[in-house]
Amino acid sequence: MSLDLATIRAAHARIRPHIKRTSVLTNGALDAALGAQLYLKCENLQAAGAFKSRGACNAVFSLTEAEAAHGVVTHSSGNHAAALARAARLRGIAAHIVMPQGSPQAKIRNVESFGGRITFCEPGLSAREAACAEIAARTGAMLVHPFDDYRVMAGQGTAALELLEDVSGLDIILCPVGGGGLLCGTAVAAKSLQPGIRVIGVEPALADDVAQSFRAGTRVSISTPATIADGLRTNSTGEKNLPLIRQYVDDIVTVSEAGIVAAMRELWDQLHLIVEPSAAVPYAALQENKFTFAGKNIGLILSGGNVDLEKLPWLKP
């Protein structure tokens, strides 16, 4: 199995009863400021507040009865966790969730609200993976990796599928990059449907492991990134992700922390949407002029909206 348009279409058919077809918004003020036409795919309004519901539902509803019997397990900074807990509840199976200490309260509450069984661990991939492996061995739960999994990538690609159905004539699609699940799904969907489109991933400069890996041609690991974009604090992209990224993605650009905060604020001021820092990362690339886009039609995936309002970074504490 790999990832192609057929598996993304199959994922869409499989998950359609369980997810929302999210709105695509436009905004004249943003367009005027950028000198381009922006189409925002509002996955911040997706079930459980992020695109992660797509991949999690596809993985959970792809399991055979025997595979599903002992539930699922994953590690996640939060949105994949909530999405997997929700998908498992929809299927009536258990979800074991390994989360790093210090995850935002909004994300913890989110997991709990869907009945996920949380185990906290130290930050960093090795601690997460060890905790996951222990739970899988003890319970028989199936691992649903947050990004290094073709079923998950196929689910994430359905957001771009919908966006390209709803908006014709897109020149560029932008999405944030953490582990690369959304980017792989988006790139394979977009390039398969419209080979001339450009697909650009955007990473915080503080978490630029995928940008480095993309250029090096081999997976580069970094220490746990301190970026405000808590959804993108991955150490490394996945084994299955990097070849797809190298094949289908045109470029990976990086943005500053101040740019991420400014982008969040601008999206609130102009669009009246609160998005989480990770979701503001692609817009920051436009504000920071990280590539040429004048006059283009740009699709942008607003990846999630799970944020603690008490901690909005541009407000005084």
Which residues contact a copy of itself (rule: CB under 8 A)?
20, 23, 25-26, 28, 44-45, 47, 49, 268, 271-274, 305-306, 309-310, 312, 315-316
Active site residue 62: no
Phi/psi at 174 (5° precision):
-115, 135
Distance CA 144, CA 206 (A): 26
DSSP class of 55: H
| Minimum distance of a copy of itself from residue 42's CB (angstroms) | 8
For residues 29 and 258, which CB has a smaller minimum distance to a copy of itself in the complex?
29
Residue among 283, 276, 187 nearest 233 (CA): 276
Beta strands per DSSP E along the chain: 24-25, 37-42, 72-75, 95-100, 117-121, 142-143, 172-176, 198-204, 251-255, 297-302
Q: Which is nearer to a copy of itself, 294 or 316 (CB)?
A: 316
Q: Which is the catalytic residue, given 52, 107, 240, 290?
A: 52
Residue 13 or residue 316: which is nearer to a copy of itself going by CB?
A: 316
Of 311, 222, 312, 299, give the one whose Cα is nearest residue 43.
299
Nearer to a copy of itself, 116 or 201 (CB): 116
Shortest Å distance, C-beta 303 to a copy of itself: 12
- Strands, sheet with 172-176, edge to edge from the N-terminal-most edge strand: 24-25, 37-42, 297-302, 172-176, 198-204, 251-255
The yes-or-no answer on residue 52 being catalytic is yes
Phi-psi domain of 137 (left: phi exceeds 0; alpha: psi -120 through 50; beta: other): alpha
Task: Give the residue with the Cβ less far from a copy of itself, 201 or 305.
Answer: 305
Tell me how far, at minimum, the Cβ of 258 lies from a copy of itself, in Å. 19
Q: Is there a contact between 81 and 116 (Cβ–Cβ < 8 Å)? A: yes
List residues bridging with 95 in a β-sheet. 72
> Smallest distance, Å, CB 87 to a copy of itself?
13
CA dist., res. 158 & res. 185, Å (int): 7
State how far the Cα of 171 lies from the Cα of 224, in Å rounded to an integer.
34
User: Which residues are designated catalytic?
Assistant: 52, 303
